[in-house]
Structure 1
């Protein structure tokens, strides 16, 4: 079972959370100028790396707030969690905020 550290509530079981996809995706500057293939790329295409990956999570049954997590996709280990207003930590060299 995955243990996530909510920045506001502390460590909780993964069943309390909802996955929200890739983190740090900028919204298009001029959305009206995008054609259908460009919108499809923005909405549906995401990175799929092997290793550390920044994700968004929601503490659905707790404080209901969104936060980011860096999770290793090969080992499923959560390397760091952080609020949306904080920069992505260097989870590899610092060991992260578990």
Structure 2
């Protein structure tokens, strides 16, 4: 993963957690829903009440042996942004769990 100023180990942990859950066989739709509901809540909150960093994800299943996971990481307290908002988009491939559809 490439790192840019204002993003790093927090986002790496989120990505590894999501990929590990997929490898264990957790439902991609459930994982996606969990992260995106949290992101929706934080997007609407005032900067002082929202989590400083959170992620929105999209999981693509192209019907092969791998899933493509798109991460949109949000930093609400970015030092180089006039309004504090900054985003970083990354994509990862992960092998589907054995027996998953």
TM category (shorter chain) comes to 0.3 to 0.5
Give the alignment's TM-score, normalised by structure 2. 0.32
User: Which is strand-richer, 1 or 2?
Assistant: 1
User: Which is helix-richer, 1 or 2?
Assistant: 2
